[in-house]
Amino acid sequence: MENQIEIYDCTLREGEQAEGARFNLNSRIRLCEELDNFGVDYIELGWPIASQEIFDSFKPALENVKKAKIVAFGSTSIRNNPDEDENLNSIVNVKVRYACIFGKSSMIHVKKQLGLTEEENLDKIFNSIKFLRKRGIAVFYDAEHYFDAFKENKEYSIRTLIKALEAGAERIILCDTNGGILPYEAGKIVKETKELLNKQGFDAKLGVHFHNDCGLALANTLACLPYINQVQGTINGIGERIGNLNFSEFLPVYVNKIGRGLKIDLRNLKKLNENAFRFAGLNVPERRAFVGDLAFAHKGGVHIDATNKGASYEHANPEDFGNKRTILLNTLGGRSSIVHIAEQFGYNLDKNNPDTKERIRRLFEELRRHEINGYRLGAIKAEQFLLIEKYFGENNLDFKIKEWNINSEFKNSVEKSSFYVSCSLNNEIIEEETSVEGGPVDAAFKTLKKILMRKYPEIEKLNIMDFHVSIALQHGEESAVRTKIDFLDTKNKRFSVSPNTKKDEVFADGEEFSTIGVDRNIIGSAVEALAKGFRYYLIRNKL
């Protein structure tokens, strides 16, 4: 019988080592709360000595987290005397009950990186763990480079684990720090390690920590399941280099595919996965197994037709992971795709009706132009709605931008922008100009919002969450630019604020949607996306 698995999340430490990732104090606490509510067993908050901000995050995390156990990370002592070691003392000073410290298993690292003898390294492992245990802290020992070390010198790598166990380590975590081990090797090494420790009289509880440099972290973890009690990873797979075991892949496989039980609700997985990216300041990728926007997306006409008739092209139910099926709006899907997409917005179309056929034909003509120009609208719900509404809706909203002008400057370390616009709103021509201390997209958004709020005051609750600029069509300096703007409707907002929260660290929950603009002018692409975002909001909310 396989062991009961503990889920140990290290996104706030390993994840922050990913290129571009950065957690602030408030986002650390938010992610802790969400991981706790989700049901992970352990949350590794970080290395207290690394920064004052990480050190300061332990107190609110320990106060706010209700079920999960907060873990401080560190290394074996840097100084010869653990009592004088700032690294170990920082773990004691944040007042945690659990710590995870790493030490060297590989003689190459012992000699070349630490400059120690074999015995000196063993003493360092023993004394460091003993130091923490005497202060009432449960210790997990991360055996760094263990799999490589086992292949290099099996006897010595086992001795390092025995020293950790003799000092009182409660878990031994076997780490594939370079991310290069193969599944058949991983399972064999963990099995043999457990057997060798048993022969020495230790009934050790093992865990694994796999990096994903070869794309095998999930396969390696699955190969080790019969022999381990703990799995370490990050909730969205981010980490140094390629990253770590992705819990958003492992947990669905473990629970949904293998059929093992955990006290988690996978229906919250997609939201947690995406928030972890956002809290780290990273874009959310569309292509992610189980939880990505394209994980259950269908484009081909045969696939769409079969799915509509109940013959699935999906390996699991998307709702089980908080996801949903997406029919991509494209010219390959045929009339059935348009009918199915329209149903999601309350339109009941007869694809054999001559008038419907003609409208779909014209819709496809416009969509084909968008495809040629690089809009890439397929999975974006707001864009789907706007096209369906244009050809099958009865909304009379007249909102068009006729002309605009932008001025932006950076002077004396201050950026200032002003935006002038002339637009039509329900047959009335309106001109407006707004100046802001900020960028041109901010100025354009606030100008358009000011115009629309005169007639639709509810639009005050619409905010920009993020925007992304990429190349739509590559043609050197004349390339067309694609701007995707992510909006947040905070009419049912919930703010999360800590005593140290700054204005730009407030997170709000609400309905999110996105729109696209394409233009050779980067501001023009943003203005188009903004106008479509406002139009979508007004029509969908029947304002």
Query: What is the domain count for the chain?
Result: 3
3-state per-residue secondary structure call for 19-36: CCCCCCHHHHHHHHHHHH
CA distances (Å), origin 265, targets 101, 259, 434: 30, 14, 46
Q: Do both 363 and 431 map to the same domain?
A: no
Q: Do both 144 and 271 map to the same domain?
A: yes
Q: Do both 64 and 109 map to the same domain?
A: yes
Q: Do both 249 and 148 map to the same domain?
A: yes
- Per residue of the chain (543 residues), what is the pLDDT tens digit? 467 899 999 999 999 999 999 999 999 999 999 999 999 999 999 999 999 999 999 999 999 999 999 999 999 998 889 999 999 999 999 999 999 999 998 778 778 877 778 888 999 999 999 999 999 999 999 999 999 999 999 999 999 999 999 999 999 999 999 999 999 999 999 999 999 999 999 999 999 999 999 999 999 999 999 999 999 999 999 999 999 999 999 999 999 999 998 999 999 999 999 999 999 999 888 889 999 887 877 766 666 566 666 666 778 888 989 988 877 787 777 788 888 889 888 899 988 999 999 999 999 999 999 999 999 988 899 999 999 999 998 888 889 999 999 999 999 999 999 999 999 998 899 999 999 999 999 999 999 999 999 999 999 999 998 888 988 877 776 789 999 999 998 765 443 433 333 434 444 456 789 999 999 999 999 999 999 999 999 998 876
CATH number at residue 109: 3.20.20.70
Containing domain of residue 483, as a range?
399-540
Counting Cβ atoms within 10 Å, is residue 66 exposed (0-12), middle (13-18) or buried (19+)? exposed
**Which residue among 355, 389, 423 closes a domain?**
389
Query: Which residues sit opposite 428 in a β-bridge?
Result: 425
Asked if residues 194 and 204 have their Cβ atoms less than 8 Å apart, the reply is: yes
Residue 290 covered by a domain: no
Asked if residues 264 and 35 have their Cβ atoms less than 8 Å apart, the reply is: no
Residue 250 covered by a domain: yes
CA distances (Å), origin 252, targets 33, 255, 267, 317: 21, 5, 10, 11
**Which residue among 358, 389, 420 closes a domain?**
389
Its pTM stands at 0.82
Q: Do both 274 and 354 map to the same domain?
A: no
Distance (Å, rounded) from C-alpha 317 to C-alpha 323?
8
Residue 291 covered by a domain: no
Distance (Å, rounded) from C-alpha 472 to C-alpha 22?
28
Q: Do both 327 and 424 map to the same domain?
A: no
